[in-house]
Structure 1
Protein backbone atom coordinates (compact mmCIF):
# COMPACT_ATOMS: atom_id res chain seq x y z
CA UNK A 1 0.00 0.00 0.00
CA UNK A 2 1.16 3.52 -0.82
CA UNK A 3 0.36 6.89 0.76
CA UNK A 4 0.32 9.78 -1.70
CA UNK A 5 0.16 13.16 0.00
CA UNK A 6 -0.79 16.38 -1.73
CA UNK A 7 0.67 19.31 0.17
CA UNK A 8 -1.30 22.55 0.40
CA UNK A 9 -3.43 24.78 2.58
CA UNK A 10 -7.13 24.16 3.31
CA UNK A 11 -9.90 26.61 2.51
CA UNK A 12 -11.45 28.12 -0.58
CA UNK A 13 -9.22 31.20 -0.33
CA UNK A 14 -6.15 28.99 -0.94
CA UNK A 15 -7.62 26.63 -3.55
CA UNK A 16 -5.97 28.18 -6.66
CA UNK A 17 -2.65 29.20 -5.07
CA UNK A 18 0.64 27.92 -6.45
CA UNK A 19 1.41 26.47 -3.00
CA UNK A 20 -1.60 24.15 -3.45
CA UNK A 21 -0.47 22.39 -6.61
CA UNK A 22 0.01 19.25 -4.50
CA UNK A 23 -3.70 19.26 -3.60
CA UNK A 24 -4.56 19.82 -7.28
CA UNK A 25 -2.35 16.89 -8.33
CA UNK A 26 -3.93 14.34 -5.98
CA UNK A 27 -7.39 15.62 -6.94
CA UNK A 28 -6.53 14.93 -10.59
CA UNK A 29 -5.28 11.43 -9.72
CA UNK A 30 -8.46 10.70 -7.73
CA UNK A 31 -10.67 11.76 -10.67
CA UNK A 32 -8.68 9.92 -13.33
CA UNK A 33 -8.41 6.64 -11.42
CA UNK A 34 -11.93 6.53 -9.94
CA UNK A 35 -11.05 6.87 -6.26
CA UNK A 36 -13.76 6.66 -3.62
CA UNK A 37 -15.19 9.82 -2.07
CA UNK A 38 -13.03 12.11 0.05
CA UNK A 39 -13.67 11.77 3.78
CA UNK A 40 -12.23 13.34 6.94
CA UNK A 41 -9.53 11.34 8.72
CA UNK A 42 -6.07 11.94 10.21
CA UNK A 43 -6.59 15.74 10.34
CA UNK A 44 -7.01 15.63 6.59
CA UNK A 45 -9.10 14.45 3.69
CA UNK A 46 -8.47 10.92 2.41
CA UNK A 47 -9.63 8.91 -0.59
CA UNK A 48 -8.80 5.28 -1.37
CA UNK A 49 -8.33 3.61 -4.72
CA UNK A 50 -6.07 1.66 -7.02
CA UNK A 51 -3.42 2.96 -9.40
CA UNK A 52 -1.42 0.62 -11.60
CA UNK A 53 -2.74 -2.35 -9.63
CA UNK A 54 -1.46 -0.90 -6.34
CA UNK A 55 -3.63 0.19 -3.40
CA UNK A 56 -3.16 3.90 -2.81
CA UNK A 57 -4.49 6.21 -0.11
CA UNK A 58 -4.52 9.86 -1.13
CA UNK A 59 -4.22 12.43 1.65
CA UNK A 60 -4.71 16.19 1.68
CA UNK A 61 -3.65 17.43 5.15
CA UNK A 62 -6.02 20.07 6.51
CA UNK A 63 -3.47 21.24 9.10
CA UNK A 64 -2.00 23.98 6.89
CA UNK A 65 1.30 23.45 5.12
CA UNK A 66 3.58 24.12 8.09
CA UNK A 67 1.96 21.33 10.15
CA UNK A 68 1.56 18.71 7.40
CA UNK A 69 3.44 16.09 9.41
CA UNK A 70 0.67 16.12 12.04
CA UNK A 71 -1.64 14.61 9.42
CA UNK A 72 0.79 12.51 7.37
CA UNK A 73 2.49 10.65 10.23
CA UNK A 74 -0.74 9.37 11.87
CA UNK A 75 -2.08 8.24 8.47
CA UNK A 76 1.14 6.36 7.72
CA UNK A 77 1.22 4.82 11.21
CA UNK A 78 -2.43 3.68 11.02
CA UNK A 79 -1.87 1.97 7.67
CA UNK A 80 1.58 0.67 8.71
CA UNK A 81 3.20 2.48 5.77
CA UNK A 82 6.90 3.21 6.07
CA UNK A 83 8.28 6.59 4.94
CA UNK A 84 9.75 4.76 1.91
CA UNK A 85 6.17 4.23 0.65
CA UNK A 86 5.05 7.82 1.22
CA UNK A 87 5.06 10.21 -1.74
CA UNK A 88 4.65 13.98 -1.23
CA UNK A 89 3.36 15.99 -4.22
CA UNK A 90 4.45 19.59 -3.70
CA UNK A 91 5.26 22.93 -5.30
CA UNK A 92 8.89 23.51 -6.27
CA UNK A 93 10.30 27.00 -6.79
CA UNK A 94 13.55 25.72 -8.25
CA UNK A 95 11.87 24.10 -11.26
CA UNK A 96 10.45 25.91 -14.25
CA UNK A 97 6.65 26.04 -14.38
CA UNK A 98 5.26 22.69 -15.52
CA UNK A 99 8.46 20.69 -15.01
CA UNK A 100 8.41 17.63 -12.76
CA UNK A 101 11.18 15.85 -10.90
CA UNK A 102 10.95 12.89 -8.54
CA UNK A 103 13.47 12.04 -5.87
CA UNK A 104 13.71 10.12 -2.65
CA UNK A 105 14.99 11.79 0.49
CA UNK A 106 17.03 14.94 0.70
CA UNK A 107 16.61 18.28 2.37
CA UNK A 108 13.50 20.43 2.61
CA UNK A 109 15.02 23.29 0.53
CA UNK A 110 13.01 25.81 2.54
CA UNK A 111 9.69 24.01 1.97
CA UNK A 112 7.87 24.02 5.31
CA UNK A 113 5.54 21.14 4.40
CA UNK A 114 8.48 18.86 3.65
CA UNK A 115 10.32 20.09 6.74
CA UNK A 116 7.37 19.20 8.96
CA UNK A 117 7.01 15.76 7.37
CA UNK A 118 10.71 15.13 8.09
CA UNK A 119 10.16 16.22 11.69
CA UNK A 120 7.12 13.95 12.11
CA UNK A 121 8.80 10.91 10.56
CA UNK A 122 12.19 11.59 12.13
CA UNK A 123 13.53 10.87 8.65
CA UNK A 124 13.82 12.54 5.24
CA UNK A 125 13.51 9.17 3.46
CA UNK A 126 10.17 9.64 1.72
CA UNK A 127 9.57 10.34 -1.97
CA UNK A 128 8.98 13.83 -3.36
CA UNK A 129 7.13 14.60 -6.59
CA UNK A 130 8.40 18.12 -7.21
CA UNK A 131 5.96 20.14 -9.33
CA UNK A 132 7.62 23.22 -10.79
CA UNK A 133 5.97 26.59 -10.22
CA UNK A 134 9.01 28.71 -11.13
CA UNK A 135 10.84 31.30 -9.06
CA UNK A 136 9.70 34.93 -9.03
CA UNK A 137 13.28 36.14 -9.48
CA UNK A 138 14.09 37.54 -6.05
CA UNK A 139 13.82 35.99 -2.58
CA UNK A 140 11.77 38.96 -1.32
CA UNK A 141 9.00 38.00 -3.78
CA UNK A 142 8.85 34.27 -2.94
CA UNK A 143 6.15 34.50 -0.25
CA UNK A 144 3.76 36.42 -2.49
CA UNK A 145 4.53 34.13 -5.41
CA UNK A 146 3.77 30.82 -3.69
CA UNK A 147 0.66 32.23 -1.98
CA UNK A 148 -0.50 33.90 -5.19
CA UNK A 149 -3.19 32.35 -7.37
CA UNK A 150 -2.41 30.78 -10.71
CA UNK A 151 -3.37 33.25 -13.43
CA UNK A 152 -5.10 32.84 -16.79
CA UNK A 153 -1.70 32.77 -18.51
CA UNK A 154 -0.73 29.65 -16.53
CA UNK A 155 -2.30 27.42 -19.19
CA UNK A 156 0.29 24.76 -18.40
CA UNK A 157 -1.41 23.86 -15.09
CA UNK A 158 -4.34 21.72 -16.38
CA UNK A 159 -2.02 20.08 -18.90
CA UNK A 160 0.49 19.20 -16.17
CA UNK A 161 -2.20 17.85 -13.82
CA UNK A 162 -3.63 15.66 -16.63
CA UNK A 163 -0.15 14.34 -17.41
CA UNK A 164 0.59 13.55 -13.74
CA UNK A 165 -2.72 11.67 -13.44
CA UNK A 166 -2.09 9.81 -16.70
CA UNK A 167 1.45 8.79 -15.72
CA UNK A 168 0.60 7.95 -12.07
CA UNK A 169 0.60 4.15 -12.66
CA UNK A 170 4.34 4.42 -13.36
CA UNK A 171 4.87 5.89 -9.88
CA UNK A 172 2.69 3.23 -8.29
CA UNK A 173 4.73 0.46 -9.90
CA UNK A 174 8.09 1.91 -8.82
CA UNK A 175 9.19 3.55 -12.08
CA UNK A 176 9.82 7.22 -11.19
CA UNK A 177 12.18 7.80 -14.13
CA UNK A 178 9.55 6.51 -16.57
CA UNK A 179 6.95 8.71 -14.83
CA UNK A 180 9.10 11.82 -15.37
CA UNK A 181 9.68 10.89 -19.02
CA UNK A 182 5.96 10.29 -19.62
CA UNK A 183 4.97 13.61 -18.02
CA UNK A 184 7.60 15.43 -20.09
CA UNK A 185 6.32 13.84 -23.31
CA UNK A 186 2.70 14.64 -22.50
CA UNK A 187 3.44 18.28 -21.67
CA UNK A 188 5.88 19.22 -24.42
CA UNK A 189 4.61 21.72 -26.97
CA UNK A 190 3.11 20.27 -30.15
Structure 2
Protein backbone atom coordinates (compact mmCIF):
# COMPACT_ATOMS: atom_id res chain seq x y z
CA UNK A 1 0.00 0.00 0.00
CA UNK A 2 0.99 3.58 -0.52
CA UNK A 3 0.16 6.93 1.05
CA UNK A 4 1.36 10.48 0.54
CA UNK A 5 0.98 13.91 2.08
CA UNK A 6 1.96 17.45 1.18
CA UNK A 7 2.33 20.46 3.45
CA UNK A 8 2.27 23.99 2.01
CA UNK A 9 4.91 25.54 4.27
CA UNK A 10 3.66 29.11 3.78
CA UNK A 11 0.10 28.18 4.74
CA UNK A 12 1.29 26.04 7.66
CA UNK A 13 3.18 29.06 9.08
CA UNK A 14 0.01 31.16 8.89
CA UNK A 15 -2.57 28.62 10.06
CA UNK A 16 -0.79 26.52 12.67
CA UNK A 17 1.08 27.63 15.75
CA UNK A 18 2.87 24.43 16.70
CA UNK A 19 4.68 26.34 19.44
CA UNK A 20 1.51 26.95 21.45
CA UNK A 21 1.35 25.07 24.71
CA UNK A 22 0.28 21.44 24.38
CA UNK A 23 0.20 21.26 20.58
CA UNK A 24 3.28 19.04 20.20
CA UNK A 25 2.19 16.86 23.12
CA UNK A 26 -0.87 15.79 21.08
CA UNK A 27 1.12 15.08 17.93
CA UNK A 28 4.67 13.99 18.77
CA UNK A 29 6.43 11.57 21.11
CA UNK A 30 9.03 12.87 23.55
CA UNK A 31 11.87 11.76 21.24
CA UNK A 32 10.20 13.47 18.26
CA UNK A 33 9.83 16.66 20.30
CA UNK A 34 13.52 16.49 21.20
CA UNK A 35 14.33 16.11 17.49
CA UNK A 36 12.24 19.22 16.73
CA UNK A 37 13.78 21.39 19.45
CA UNK A 38 17.36 20.41 18.54
CA UNK A 39 16.90 20.77 14.76
CA UNK A 40 18.52 23.56 12.78
CA UNK A 41 15.10 24.27 11.29
CA UNK A 42 12.42 23.32 13.85
CA UNK A 43 9.53 24.47 11.63
CA UNK A 44 10.65 22.25 8.78
CA UNK A 45 11.16 19.32 11.17
CA UNK A 46 7.63 19.66 12.61
CA UNK A 47 6.04 19.61 9.18
CA UNK A 48 8.24 16.79 7.93
CA UNK A 49 7.21 14.62 10.89
CA UNK A 50 3.57 15.62 10.37
CA UNK A 51 3.80 14.74 6.68
CA UNK A 52 5.45 11.40 7.45
CA UNK A 53 2.71 10.51 9.95
CA UNK A 54 -0.07 11.58 7.60
CA UNK A 55 1.37 9.64 4.63
CA UNK A 56 1.85 6.50 6.74
CA UNK A 57 -1.67 6.84 8.14
CA UNK A 58 -3.11 6.89 4.60
CA UNK A 59 -1.16 3.75 3.61
CA UNK A 60 -2.17 2.05 6.88
CA UNK A 61 -5.84 2.96 6.53
CA UNK A 62 -5.93 1.68 2.94
CA UNK A 63 -4.08 -1.55 3.86
CA UNK A 64 -6.42 -2.44 6.71
CA UNK A 65 -9.55 -0.66 5.39
CA UNK A 66 -9.94 1.17 8.70
CA UNK A 67 -12.52 3.88 9.16
CA UNK A 68 -10.94 7.34 9.46
CA UNK A 69 -9.14 7.85 12.79
CA UNK A 70 -6.00 9.95 12.58
CA UNK A 71 -4.25 9.91 15.95
CA UNK A 72 -0.69 11.06 15.18
CA UNK A 73 0.66 10.58 18.73
CA UNK A 74 0.25 6.81 18.12
CA UNK A 75 2.50 6.96 15.04
CA UNK A 76 6.20 6.86 15.90
CA UNK A 77 8.79 8.37 13.56
CA UNK A 78 12.38 7.20 13.74
CA UNK A 79 14.60 8.40 10.92
CA UNK A 80 12.58 7.73 7.74
CA UNK A 81 10.34 5.04 9.24
CA UNK A 82 6.89 5.42 10.79
CA UNK A 83 5.54 2.65 13.03
CA UNK A 84 1.80 2.22 13.55
CA UNK A 85 0.81 -0.69 15.81
CA UNK A 86 3.84 -2.85 14.88
CA UNK A 87 3.47 -2.02 11.17
CA UNK A 88 6.43 -0.19 9.67
CA UNK A 89 6.16 2.26 6.79
CA UNK A 90 9.18 3.54 4.89
CA UNK A 91 8.96 7.20 3.97
CA UNK A 92 10.65 9.43 1.42
CA UNK A 93 10.30 13.19 1.78
CA UNK A 94 10.96 15.90 -0.77
CA UNK A 95 11.61 19.21 0.98
CA UNK A 96 11.52 22.46 -0.97
CA UNK A 97 11.24 26.08 0.11
CA UNK A 98 7.51 25.86 -0.63
CA UNK A 99 6.34 22.42 0.47
CA UNK A 100 7.18 19.07 2.02
CA UNK A 101 5.91 16.04 0.12
CA UNK A 102 6.18 12.61 1.73
CA UNK A 103 5.42 9.16 0.34
CA UNK A 104 4.97 6.14 2.64
CA UNK A 105 4.85 2.44 1.79
CA UNK A 106 5.47 -0.86 3.52
CA UNK A 107 7.70 -2.81 1.19
CA UNK A 108 9.73 -2.30 -1.93
CA UNK A 109 7.02 -0.82 -4.13
CA UNK A 110 7.33 0.58 -7.61
CA UNK A 111 5.41 3.82 -7.78
CA UNK A 112 5.01 7.07 -9.65
CA UNK A 113 4.51 10.31 -7.79
CA UNK A 114 4.36 13.98 -8.52
CA UNK A 115 3.98 17.16 -6.49
CA UNK A 116 2.75 20.28 -8.25
CA UNK A 117 1.19 23.70 -7.80
CA UNK A 118 -2.60 23.57 -7.84
CA UNK A 119 -4.27 25.28 -10.75
CA UNK A 120 -7.87 26.26 -9.89
CA UNK A 121 -10.12 23.18 -9.69
CA UNK A 122 -8.16 21.05 -12.16
CA UNK A 123 -5.52 19.81 -9.73
CA UNK A 124 -6.50 16.14 -10.25
CA UNK A 125 -5.67 16.53 -13.94
CA UNK A 126 -2.06 15.44 -13.29
CA UNK A 127 -3.22 12.19 -11.67
CA UNK A 128 -5.81 11.50 -14.37
CA UNK A 129 -3.25 12.09 -17.13
CA UNK A 130 -0.86 9.59 -15.54
CA UNK A 131 -3.63 6.98 -15.14
CA UNK A 132 -4.73 7.59 -18.72
CA UNK A 133 -1.22 7.03 -20.04
CA UNK A 134 -0.40 4.05 -17.82
CA UNK A 135 -3.68 2.16 -18.37
CA UNK A 136 -4.29 3.34 -21.95
CA UNK A 137 -7.73 4.84 -21.22
CA UNK A 138 -9.13 8.28 -21.92
CA UNK A 139 -9.09 10.80 -19.08
CA UNK A 140 -12.84 11.37 -19.47
CA UNK A 141 -13.45 7.79 -18.24
CA UNK A 142 -11.50 8.33 -15.00
CA UNK A 143 -13.02 9.49 -11.74
CA UNK A 144 -12.39 9.16 -8.01
CA UNK A 145 -14.93 7.69 -5.64
CA UNK A 146 -14.66 7.19 -1.88
CA UNK A 147 -15.57 3.92 -0.23
CA UNK A 148 -17.50 3.56 3.04
CA UNK A 149 -14.33 4.41 5.01
CA UNK A 150 -13.76 7.54 2.89
CA UNK A 151 -10.77 5.93 1.20
CA UNK A 152 -10.50 7.24 -2.37
CA UNK A 153 -10.68 4.68 -5.15
CA UNK A 154 -9.98 5.08 -8.87
CA UNK A 155 -12.92 4.40 -11.11
CA UNK A 156 -12.37 3.75 -14.83
CA UNK A 157 -15.64 3.79 -16.70
CA UNK A 158 -18.07 1.80 -14.57
CA UNK A 159 -15.33 -0.24 -12.88
CA UNK A 160 -14.11 0.61 -9.39
CA UNK A 161 -10.45 -0.48 -9.34
CA UNK A 162 -8.22 -1.60 -6.48
CA UNK A 163 -5.21 0.35 -7.76
CA UNK A 164 -3.24 1.50 -4.68
CA UNK A 165 -2.86 5.27 -4.84
CA UNK A 166 -2.96 8.36 -2.68
CA UNK A 167 -3.92 11.90 -3.54
CA UNK A 168 -3.32 14.91 -1.30
CA UNK A 169 -3.56 18.67 -1.35
CA UNK A 170 -2.76 21.54 1.01
CA UNK A 171 -2.82 25.22 0.28
CA UNK A 172 -1.37 25.89 -3.15
CA UNK A 173 0.03 22.39 -3.72
CA UNK A 174 -1.18 18.91 -4.52
CA UNK A 175 0.50 15.55 -5.04
CA UNK A 176 -0.22 11.96 -5.88
CA UNK A 177 1.51 8.62 -5.44
CA UNK A 178 0.35 5.53 -7.31
CA UNK A 179 1.68 1.97 -7.29
CA UNK A 180 2.69 0.77 -10.72
TM tier relative to shorter chain:
under 0.3
Q: What is the TM-score normalised by the length of structure 2?
A: 0.28
Q: Which has the higher contact order (CA 8 A, sep 6+)?
A: 2
CA radius of gyration, larger in: 2
